[in-house]
């Protein structure tokens, strides 16, 4: 019985030059944390990838479950399931047969062997031939095909052992969470913003959410849904913390003070200012929204510009050019779509005008905003936010500090 392993392959990390080791270590730490509770002996970096060594007698189904989980960790390009063996060609051949038995359906295959040290007497070409012959005997009905085979059986001989694997699944790619700084994500219970948050996490950012609830003017339903969404994201370490802002009373004040057509822009400008203040607390470098150009009234070019002018920090919109059906498809793949499809009264639908302005002029927006005590509201909101932390290996949670500390 050979020791089962999962090899985490990466692509973009391997192009990082002098910074490569820090990216590799961040991925290794994230993998370790994501596998807490699984039968893992150790996780080590070997030959340009991360190797997860599983405990003896780990069943095939559980090994597949572990591989599937690893494939969802940002920074992972591909995950291979296989075995660690001694540097003995007979053992390598037996492991290759076992790996092929567990690889699923296929009609054609080839062997891809390589050695990283010449102290192993059999070179790569000879290993291809020897292991290939054993596999042809074990699977006489399968065809050897050197170009575009259904299955590739890989053999890697390193300094102290050999690794043999055949089952390989694609990962989500990107960079490990924690390698690209922090961002503050405006997170609603809708379909778009969880996808936008995940996309930034996939680029290595630590994502901290801020949810604007319609409470006390509406129920807290959206808050529960956002918590459910955050629990989906935390399965792969893609969210660290969520700040909840009871926003309904401030919307009511705005609705009674500004022209109806400008209400939505005013709501969003205040949201952005609050998010910027929280970003300063968290040392986050940008805001993130789930906006897509032209999707709703607040997402026209003019209204986006009017909203952005409320803050001085960058605002990232990873979905800006994405079709709604593409966003839905990714939400389904991510596992948030069913949650986001539930009805929940939230601040986005509260005190909405019949005909919101779609081409706001910044001068009109600033004039309407003058009478509002925006700075006092921001300070008051930030002082009274509610905080919930989630499992993100790259984030060290700290207790919220007063805004004036």
Considering just the CA atoms, what is the radius of gyration of the chain in Å?
Answer: 26
Residue with tokens 């001694």: 86
Residues paired with 334 in a beta bridge: none
Provide the pLDDT for residue 346.
Answer: 67
Provide the pLDDT for residue 161.
Answer: 92
| % of the chain at pLDDT higher than 70 | 97
Establish whether 212 is an annotated binding residue. Answer: yes
Judged by average pLDDT, the poorest of 229-233, 354-358, 383-387 is 354-358
| pLDDT surpassing 60 at residue 109 | yes
Distance CA 189, CA 207 (A): 16
Distance CA 81, CA 185 (A): 35
| % of the chain at pLDDT higher than 90 | 85
Establish whether 182 is an annotated binding residue. Answer: no
What is the chain's mean pLDDT, rounded? 93
**Which of the residue ranges 43-57, 190-204, 344-358 has the most confident prediction, judged by mean pLDDT?**
190-204
Establish whether 3 is an annotated binding residue. Answer: no
| pLDDT surpassing 90 at residue 30 | yes
Establish whether 186 is an annotated binding residue. Answer: yes
Distance CA 293, CA 121 (A): 61
Provide the pLDDT for residue 259.
Answer: 92
Provide the pLDDT for residue 398.
Answer: 65
Ordered alpha helix ranges (H), 18-107: 20-34, 60-71, 89-101
Provide the pLDDT for residue 401.
Answer: 55
* Strand arrangement of the beta sheet that strand 78-85 belongs to: 40-46, 49-54, 3-9, 78-85, 162-170, 151-157, 108-115, 143-144
Establish whether 337 is an annotated binding residue. Answer: no
Distance CA 232, CA 313 (A): 28
- Mean per-residue pLDDT, 150-163: 93
Query: pLDDT, tens digit, for every residue of 46-102?
Result: 878 999 999 998 999 999 999 999 999 999 999 999 999 999 999 999 999 999 999
| pLDDT surpassing 90 at residue 357 | no
Distance CA 218, CA 226 (A): 15
Provide the pLDDT for residue 344.
Answer: 80
Token duo for residue 198: 């995940």
Provide the pLDDT for residue 45.
Answer: 92
Establish whether 187 is an annotated binding residue. Answer: yes
Query: pLDDT, tens digit, for every residue of 289-311?
Result: 999 998 887 889 999 999 999 99
Establish whether 211 is an annotated binding residue. Answer: yes
Burial of 236 (0-12, 13-18, 19+ CB in 10 A): buried
**Cα angle for residues 170, 176, 178 (degrees, 5° grid):** 160
Distance CA 59, CA 170 (A): 21
* Residue 275, phi then psi, degrees to nearest 5: -60, -40
- Mean per-residue pLDDT, 193-215: 97
Provide the pLDDT for residue 405.
Answer: 45
């Amino acid at each position: 019985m050979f020791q089962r392993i999962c090899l985490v392959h990466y692509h973009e990390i391997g192009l990082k030059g002098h910074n490569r080791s820090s990216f590799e270590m961040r991925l290794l730490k994230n993998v370790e944390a994501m596998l807490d509770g699984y039968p893992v002996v150790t996780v080590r970096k070997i030959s340009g990838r991360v190797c997860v060594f599983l405990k003896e007698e780990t069943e095939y189904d559980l090994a597949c479950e572990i591989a599937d989980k690893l494939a969802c960790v940002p920074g992972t390009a591909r995950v291979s399931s296989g075995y660690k063996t001694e540097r003995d060609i007979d053992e390598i051949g037996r492991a290759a047969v076992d790996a092929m038995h567990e690889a699923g359906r296929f009609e054609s295959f080839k062997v891809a062997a390589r050695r990283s040290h010449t102290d192993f007497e059999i070179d790569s070409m000879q290993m291809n031939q020897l292991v290939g012959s054993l596999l042809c005997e074990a699977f006489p009905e399968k065809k050897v095909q050197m170009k575009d085979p259904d299955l590739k059986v890989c053999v890697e001989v390193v300094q102290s052992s050999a690794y043999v694997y055949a089952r390989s699944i694609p990962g989500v790619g990107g960079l490990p969470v924690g390698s690209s700084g922090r961002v503050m994500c405006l997170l609603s219970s809708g379909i778009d913003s969880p996808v936008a948050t995940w996309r930034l996490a996939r680029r290595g950012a630590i994502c901290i959410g801020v949810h604007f609830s319609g409470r006390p003017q509406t129920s807290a339903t959206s808050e529960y849904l956002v918590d459910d969404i955050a629990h989906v994201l935390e399965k792969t370490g893609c969210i660290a913390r969520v700040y909840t802002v009871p926003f309904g009373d401030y919307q009511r004040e705005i609705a009674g003070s500004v022209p109806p057509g400008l209400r939505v822009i005013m709501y969003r400008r205040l949201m952005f200012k609050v998010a910027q203040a929280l970003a300063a607390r968290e040392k986050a470098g940008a805001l993130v929204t789930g906006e897509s150009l032209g999707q709703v009234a607040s997402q026209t070019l003019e209204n986006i510009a009017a909203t952005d002018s409320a803050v001085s920090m960058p605002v990232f919109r990873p979905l800006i050019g994405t079709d709604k059906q593409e966003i839905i498809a990714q939400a389904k793949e991510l596992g948030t779509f069913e949650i986001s499809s539930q009805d929940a009264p939230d601040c986005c639908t509260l005190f909405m005008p019949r005909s919101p302005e779609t081409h706001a002029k910044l001068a009109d927006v600033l004039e309407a905003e003058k009478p509002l005590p925006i700075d006092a509201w921001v300070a008051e909101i930030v002082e009274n936010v509610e905080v919930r932390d989630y499992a993100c290996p790259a984030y060290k949670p700290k207790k919220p500090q007063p805004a004036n500390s």
